A and B are shown apart, each in its own frame.
Chain A
Amino acid sequence: RKEVEQDPGPFNVPEGATVAFNCTYSNSASQSFFWYRQDCRKEPKLLMSVYSSGNEDGRFTAQLNRASQYISLLIRDSKLSDSATYLCVVGERNNNDMRFGAGTRLTVKP
């Protein structure tokens, strides 16, 4: 079983659509959770941390379910500029042992 598993892509959605990505992780002792965004041929950049209570940043909402070892990212009112690969990242201990999912490719079309 993969340590961090994400929805297989790609997701192709029209502008304005709502899209959700899911991620599961295998280590129940994981301490920290993140979504990163990676544009084509660029480095990953932190999109948002994911907290137990859930958190929202504008059009983006992240949820964590520790019991099910499941993380989600919801994007509302998709923009063309949201097109990227979204990486689910799970930290195992002390924030210095992060495990990355393979990523889910999103393309938002006019």
Chain B
Amino acid sequence: ETGVTQTPRHLVMGMTNKKSLKCEQHLGHNAMYWYKQSAKKPLELMFVYSLEERVENNSVPSRFSPECPNSSHLFLHLHTLQPEDSALYLCASSQVSTAGYGYTFGSGTRLTVV
């Protein structure tokens, strides 16, 4: 496999459920990100992991919990979400300090909270 893969592609969960989103990158990058994209809004940066260390937590509610076990894998654990958390969740990876190459995104998980 190449690029950045995210699973699942679609997820419907109740407000009391616990679920996890998974992201895997096959590009040898050393930084990974979670973004949230709501309708008609800019992408919102949620978490940044650089060299497996969390370097940014962008005021995200504690019902979202990231995990980065190694440089190729990133998880987003979800619990007691709210309907307003319904959005497209995008994972991305990049090579830190290599300006000019941008991010590579996964296909995203479209989350619906009911």
CA distance A103 to B41 in the complex (A): 8
Within A10-37, which residues are at the interface with B (CB < 8 Å)?
31-32, 34, 36
Interface majority SS (helix, strand, loop, mixed), chain B: loop
Within B18-51, which residues are at the interface with A (CB < 8 Å)?
31, 33, 40-43, 45, 48, 50
CA distance A56 to B107 in the complex (A): 27
Is the beta-carbon distance between A32 and B99 smaller than 8 angstroms?
yes
Q: Is B55 part of the contact surface with A, judged by Cβ < 8 Å?
A: yes
Partner of A96, one of B50, B104, B108: B50
Is the beta-carbon distance between B107 and A42 smaller than 8 angstroms?
yes
CA distance A102 to B107 in the complex (A): 19
Instruction: Using A36-B102, A44-B105, A46-B104 as known contacts, say yes or no to A96 and B96 having CB atoms under 8 A apart.
Output: yes
- Spell out B's residues near A (CB within 8 Å): 31, 33, 40-43, 45, 48, 50, 55-56, 88, 90, 94-108, 110
